[in-house]
Chains A and B, each alone.
Chain A
Amino acid sequence: EPEVTQTPSHQVTQMGQEVILRCVPISNHLYFYWYRQILGQKVEFLVSFYNNEISEKSEIFDDQFSVERPDGSNFTLKIRSTKLEDSAMYFCASSGLVLTGELFFGEGSRLTVL
């Protein structure tokens, strides 16, 4: 069964460093998403991406964040200068359809900022 894969599963970084989280969505999907979950809190929407551009972003997704689809398979989330409060689980998701399509989530990348 096709699945969304994320790397790394866990990354530890120093405050102020740049981090890139990588995702390989399901191959024929067109819509891509990043979500975040701070420990003990809800899973929150960060950004959606379609046709090589951001279609929607939340207030959390400030100038420190960026997304990119550098080739036909990868979808990345970059945090430019990490802060302690960026420590969280980051989930990538993809969908073949908007509005009613099922979102398929990866298992997550845990980011720890020291």
Chain B
Amino acid sequence: GIQVEQSPPDLILQEGANSTLRCNFSDSVNNLQWFHQNPWGQLINLFYIPSGTKQNGRLSATTVATERYSLLYISSSQTTDSGVYFCAYSGGSNYKLTFGKGTLLTVNP
């Protein structure tokens, strides 16, 4: 099956800093989504981005399908951005989403 690597596994930022999170894939994907899991465990849909670039406020995401990676940008980070960020993908004949291991982001005031 398709393998995914999320990096970095952990990231600590000061409030106001920018960051880039990355997912690398071993093969082409049909579906690529980014999620934020807040400290209470709730899963928040961020982006559906099998290809191209999308922006939503301080967050944006880019997927370069031909090079098998996706990036999540967080600008001017806030303490409320803390939590785990997951990329999730499906590919080939496998339509269900498979989650990466996540990046644990901590934003300090």
A interface residues (Cβ-Cβ under 8 A, vs B):
33, 35, 37, 42-45, 48, 56, 89, 91, 93, 98-108, 110
Query: How close is B28's CB to chain A, nearest CB, in angstroms?
Result: 12
- In the complex, which residues of chain A have a beta carbon less than 8 angstroms from the beta carbon of B33? 102-103
B interface, over-half SS: strand
B41 touches A99 (CB 8 A): no
- In the complex, which residues of chain A have a beta carbon less than 8 angstroms from the beta carbon of B42? 107-108
Which parts of B85-102 form the interface with A (CB within 8 Å)?
86, 88, 90, 95-102
A interface, over-half SS: strand
- In the complex, which residues of chain A have a beta carbon less than 8 angstroms from the beta carbon of B83? none
Residue interface mask B17-58, A partner, CB < 8 A = 1: 000000000000011010100000111110010100000000
Please, how many residues of chain B have a CB less than 8 angstroms from a CB on the other chain?
A: 22
Query: Which of A45, A91, A99, A108 is the one whose CB lies under 8 Å from B98?
Result: A45
A72 CA to B96 CA, complexed, in Å: 23
CB closest chain-A residue, reference B49:
A102
B interface residues (Cβ-Cβ under 8 A, vs A):
30-31, 33, 35, 41-45, 48, 50, 86, 88, 90, 95-102
- Assuming the contacts A89-B41, A99-B90, A105-B35, asked whether A56 and B96 have C-beta atoms less than 8 A apart, the reply is yes
B33, B35, B43, B44 — most chain A CB neighbours (10 Å): B43
Query: Which of B30, B31, B45, B96 is the one whose CB lies under 8 Å from A105?
Result: B45
Q: List 30 A-B contacts (CB under 8 A).
A: A33-B97, A35-B99, A42-B99, A42-B101, A42-B102, A43-B43, A43-B86, A43-B99, A44-B99, A45-B96, A45-B97, A48-B96, A91-B43, A93-B97, A98-B95, A99-B30, A100-B50, A102-B31, A102-B48, A103-B31, A103-B97, A104-B45, A105-B35, A105-B43, A107-B42, A107-B43, A107-B44, A108-B41, A108-B43, A110-B41
